[in-house]
């Protein structure tokens, strides 16, 4: 809940432990982007939720009591989007997401009182297709996400390198130096790019459609 009605004191961020058997001791874990280090004794039980909030008193007044509020964070969730990274006490990245307030991300969480909800806990949290606006204002803190389900499979493809101005590198088949973009397949399988798009404008996707199957 990064841009709630009523201002920043109504912000919250929720963590979920999907394990059926393992509790997680979050002592000294960090949540970068919210400027939070979890206090000693913070334990997230199996298949349970916790929230960290900007203002504990205001959170309970807005969303109700009976929720596991683990801590208050010192920072602010950026209203135009930012990178949130969860790290364990040794600095290892456990999870992260770079969210935004513009298309292709849902736009209703920006000022309209809806939260961003993860759809499918079994898939990559850092893919936009795995996120949705909550079904109703207020979100679902410390409860099953209203939009929880199965999100479409997202291939493990990444834009890996970009050369926007090329004057002397990698001459093409027409003996010309053209700008180029490299796509990396991080999976162990070949991926058919046919029908996919490469674009900088979601309103004009067909400007960069792959016409043939490529790998």
Residues 162 and 194 grouped into a single domain: yes
In a domain, 38, yes or no: yes
**DSSP-derived 3-state class of residue 205:** helix
Residues 17 and 105 grouped into a single domain: yes
In a domain, 146, yes or no: no
Q: What is the pLDDT of residues 69-84, one digit of tens each?
A: 999 999 999 999 999 9
Residues 126 and 166 grouped into a single domain: no
Q: What is the pLDDT of residues 115-143, one digit of tens each?
A: 999 999 988 888 888 999 999 999 999 99
- Report whether 47 contacts 19 (CB < 8 A): yes
Tally of domains within the chain = 2
Nearest to 132 by CA among 119, 145, 149: 119
| Domain end among 65, 98, 133 | 133
Nearest to 26 by CA among 91, 93, 88: 88
Residue 215 has pLDDT above 50, yes or no: no
Q: How much is the average pLDDT of 83-111?
A: 94
pLDDT at 207: 63
Q: What is the pTM of this model?
A: 0.81
Residues 107 and 29 grouped into a single domain: yes
State which residues form the domain around 177.
155-215
Residues 97 and 166 grouped into a single domain: no
CATH number of the domain within which 110 lies: 2.60.40.1260
Q: How much is the average pLDDT of 173-188?
A: 90
Residue 169 has pLDDT above 60, yes or no: yes
| Domain end among 68, 98, 133 | 133
**Which residues does residue 32 pair with via DSSP β-bridges, in sequence order?**
85
Q: What is the pLDDT of residues 8-37, one digit of tens each?
A: 999 999 999 999 999 999 999 999 999 999
In a domain, 148, yes or no: no
Residues 12 and 66 grouped into a single domain: yes
Residues 180 and 87 grouped into a single domain: no
pLDDT at 211: 66
pLDDT at 34: 95
Residues 39 and 78 grouped into a single domain: yes
- Report whether 95 contacts 86 (CB < 8 A): yes
Residues 128 and 23 grouped into a single domain: yes
Residues 109 and 163 grouped into a single domain: no
């Amino acid at each position: 809940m990064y841009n709630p009605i009523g201002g920043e004191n109504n912000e919250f961020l929720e963590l979920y432990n999907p394990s059926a058997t393992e509790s997680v001791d979050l002592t000294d874990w960090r949540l970068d982007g919210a400027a939070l280090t979890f206090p000693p004794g913070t334990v997230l039980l199996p298949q349970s939720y916790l929230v960290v909030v900007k203002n504990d008193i205001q959170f309970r007044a807005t969303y109700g009591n009976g929720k596991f509020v683990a801590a208050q964070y010192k920072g602010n969730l950026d209203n135009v989007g930012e990178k949130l990274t969860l790290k364990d006490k040794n600095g290892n990245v456990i999870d992260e997401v770079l969210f935004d307030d513009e298309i292709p991300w849902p736009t209703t969480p920006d000022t309209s009182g809806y939260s961003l909800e993860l759809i499918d806990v079994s898939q990559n949290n850092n893919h936009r297709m795995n996120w949705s606006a909550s079904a109703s204002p207020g979100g679902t803190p410390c409860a099953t996400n209203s939009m929880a389900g199965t999100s479409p499979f997202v291939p493990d493809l990444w834009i890996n390198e970009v050369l926007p101005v090329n004057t002397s590198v990698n001459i093409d088949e027409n003996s010309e130096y053209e700008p180029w973009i490299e796509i990396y397949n991080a999976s162990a399988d070949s991926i058919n790019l046919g029908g996919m798009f490469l674009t900088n404008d979601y309103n004009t996707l067909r400007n960069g459609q792959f016409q043939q199957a490529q790998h």
